């Protein structure tokens, strides 16, 4: 007979999303929770990240709502200089470990099963002992839906000859040899981090070759600073974004206008990006990356052979002892969306653009506050994670509409202002009647919101028609 544990909720996954959900549940109710995770420590993919990984958004609105992650300082040196600090992977992991040991477990309402796999239908198996047990819960929360993938644990989608020095970025800091020539495969955030790490460690830009199948639109980190001194940048960028959407005459024109107003950045101004993953960069980082001149734009890699790399549109030679770094793991491997609330299952997804942890906390709050499943789903419409540049249209439209629906809901505004994962609501609510410049920005935002939504709706219809034609 299998042992059975009982609780109100089973949360599958102790990653950032699962932890943010449980935190709000424990803080705002007396519910009981079972957390199960295959990893030995909470933090999900951060457990396997490369040692030089950091957040790309300020620490002050990452983690869980009840516990501060930021030390409230701005970086004084480095490529994030002048901006609010970014927690390292090690800091993120220590934070979640403390949260589990000092808050969740002592609450007496959280039962945590590390190194255990959820097999479905209430069945859990310990990875180390092989023993199975069951859980009896009212609801299951799936925080694994996005299927996050990272370089250390993914398998590249192309064959690699055994003779090549091929490695994930995790291996680079452990190397004890001179790096003569290095090729980075992948133009996403991991590729960016790896190039920056090499440059910061003094590897000459001329020795770095960067395979970039697609260029990306990037967000300027200065516009994501949740402290008052950056009001003009952060909220100003929101106002400019809405104005430029409204003023644009085509999707391409919109992207270019958004770049001109400082909302978007790109690495090479002569290449029109086709990708958007929400990567957030400082201008100093962008400048440093521009020093790498050997950028290979020949599509995706098909194979890495003993003497060459074969790509979709050509091939490039490999030097003797050249190091090839695999940065092709795409953080999110499942981009489909589904309804958040079903009868007994809650599937965590983003309900605000690029904000998985805020979204998980928000979903927990809605779960606790409302009974009607239709109402819950209406308040938690998924804002899909983007891949292609044009998907920014759908994402921004849904994001703005959610904001609009939430503003109509009594009590939600106050909750948002008090949730540290929100980042910006408190800043907006804190504007005083004599802060004329800030009031002007808010006014610009109010004025541009409706025309921007109308324009996004037009672009959405256009994209839907185009996709029907293919």
Ligand X SMILES: Cc1cc2nc3c(=O)[nH]c(=O)nc-3n(C[C@H](O)[C@H](O)[C@H](O)COP(=O)(O)OP(=O)(O)OC[C@H]3O[C@@H](n4cnc5c(N)ncnc54)[C@H](O)[C@@H]3O)c2cc1C
Tokens at 430, concatenated: 């804190």
Integer Cα distance of 385 and 329 in angstroms: 16
Question: Which lies closer to ligand X via its Cβ, residue 16 or residue 211?
Answer: 16
Find the shortest distance in angstroms from Cβ 340 to ligand X.
14
Q: Which is nearer to ligand X, 70 or 148 (CB)?
A: 148
Q: For ligand X, give the closer residue by CB, 245 or 357.
A: 357
Our CB check for ligand X shows the closer of 55 and 453 to be: 55
Residue 314 to residue 63: CA distance in whole angstroms: 43
Give dist(CA 118, CA 420) in Å, integer: 31
Nearer CB in complex with ligand X: 117/315:
117
Q: Looking at the DSSP assignment, which residues form a beta bridge with residue 136?
A: 6
Cβ atoms of 54 and 85 within 8 Å: the answer is no
Q: What's the closest the beta carbon of residue 397 comes to ligand X, in angstroms? A: 20
Q: Which is nearer to ligand X, 235 or 360 (CB)?
A: 360
Smallest separation (angstroms) from ligand X to the CB of 427: 18
d(Cα 281, Cα 79) in Å, to the nearest integer? 9
Instruction: State in angstroms the smallest separation of the CB of 330 from ligand X.
Output: 9
Distance in Å, CB of 239 to ligand X, minimum: 23
Residues 295-302: contacts with CB within 8 Å, 24+ apart?
295/209, 295/210, 295/212, 295/267, 295/268, 296/209, 296/210, 296/211, 296/212, 297/212, 297/213, 297/215, 297/271, 298/211, 299/213, 300/158, 300/213, 301/158, 301/185, 301/211, 301/213, 301/328, 302/158
User: CB of residue 272 vs ligand X: minimum separation in angstroms?
Assistant: 25
Cβ nearer to ligand X, comparing 55 with 245: 55
Give the SS3 label for residue 8.
strand
Starting at the edge strand found earlier in the chain, the sheet holding 314-317 runs 301-304, 308-311, 314-317
CB 357 within 8 A of CB 20: yes
Task: Give the nearest distance from C-beta 118 to ligand X in angstroms.
Answer: 4
Q: Which stretches of the chain bind ligand X, using CB under 6 A?
A: 12-18, 36-39, 44-45, 49, 53, 55-57, 62, 117-118, 143-144, 146, 148, 150, 331, 355-357
């Amino acid at each position: 007979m299998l042992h059975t544990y009982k609780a109100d909720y089973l949360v599958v996954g102790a990653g950032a999303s699962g932890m943010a959900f449980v935190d709000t549940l424990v803080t705002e109710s007396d519910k009981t929770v079972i957390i199960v995770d295959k990893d030995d420590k909470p933090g999900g993919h951060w457990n396997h990240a490369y040692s030089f990984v950091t957040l790309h958004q300020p620490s002050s609105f990452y983690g869980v709502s009840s516990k501060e992650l930021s030390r409230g300082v701005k970086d004084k040196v480095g490529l994030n200089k002048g901006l609010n600090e970014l927690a390292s992977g090690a800091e993120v992991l220590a934070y979640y470990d403390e949260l589990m040991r000092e808050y969740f477990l002592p609450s007496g309402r959280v039962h945590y099963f590390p190194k255990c796999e959820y097999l479905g239908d209430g069945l859990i198996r310990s990875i180390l002992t092989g023993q199975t047990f069951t859980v009896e819960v009212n609801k299951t929360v799936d925080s694994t839906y996005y299927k996050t993938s990272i370089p250390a644990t993914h398998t590249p989608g192309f064959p690699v000859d055994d003779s090549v020095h091929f490695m994930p970025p995790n291996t680079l800091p452990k190397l004890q040899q001179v790096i003569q020539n290095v090729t980075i495969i992948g133009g996403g955030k991991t590729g960016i981090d790896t190039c920056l790490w090499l440059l910061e460690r003094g590897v000459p830009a001329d020795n770095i070759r960067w395979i970039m199948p697609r260029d990306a639109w990037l967000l300027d980190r200065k516009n994501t600073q949740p402290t008052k001194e950056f009001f003009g940048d952060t909220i100003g960028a929101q106002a400019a974004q809405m104005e430029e959407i409204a003023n644009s005459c085509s999707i391409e024109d919109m992207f270019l206008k958004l770049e001109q107003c400082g909302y978007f950045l790109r690495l090479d101004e002569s290449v029109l990006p086709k990708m958007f993953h929400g990567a957030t960069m400082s201008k100093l980082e962008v400048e440093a990356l521009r020093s790498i001149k050997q950028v290979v734009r020949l599509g995706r890699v098909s194979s890495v052979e003993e003497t060459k790399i074969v790509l979709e549109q050509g091939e490039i030679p490999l030097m003797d002892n050249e190091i090839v770094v695999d940065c092709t793991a795409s953080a999110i491997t499942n981009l489909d969306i589904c309804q958040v609330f079903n009868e007994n299952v809650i599937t965590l997804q983003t309900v605000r653009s690029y904000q998985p942890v805020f979204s998980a906390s928000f979903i927990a709050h809605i779960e606790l506050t409302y009974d009607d499943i239709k109402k819950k789903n209406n308040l938690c419409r998924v804002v899909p994670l983007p891949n292609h540049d044009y998907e920014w249209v759908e994402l921004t439209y849904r994001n703005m509409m959610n904001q609009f629906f939430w503003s109509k809901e009594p009590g939600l505004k106050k909750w948002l202002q008090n949730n540290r994962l929100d980042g910006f609501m408190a800043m907006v609510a804190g504007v005083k009647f004599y802060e004329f410049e800030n009031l002007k920005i808010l006014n610009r935002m109010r004025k541009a919101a409706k025309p921007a939504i109308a324009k996004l709706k037009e672009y959405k219809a256009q994209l839907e028609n185009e996709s029907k034609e293919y």
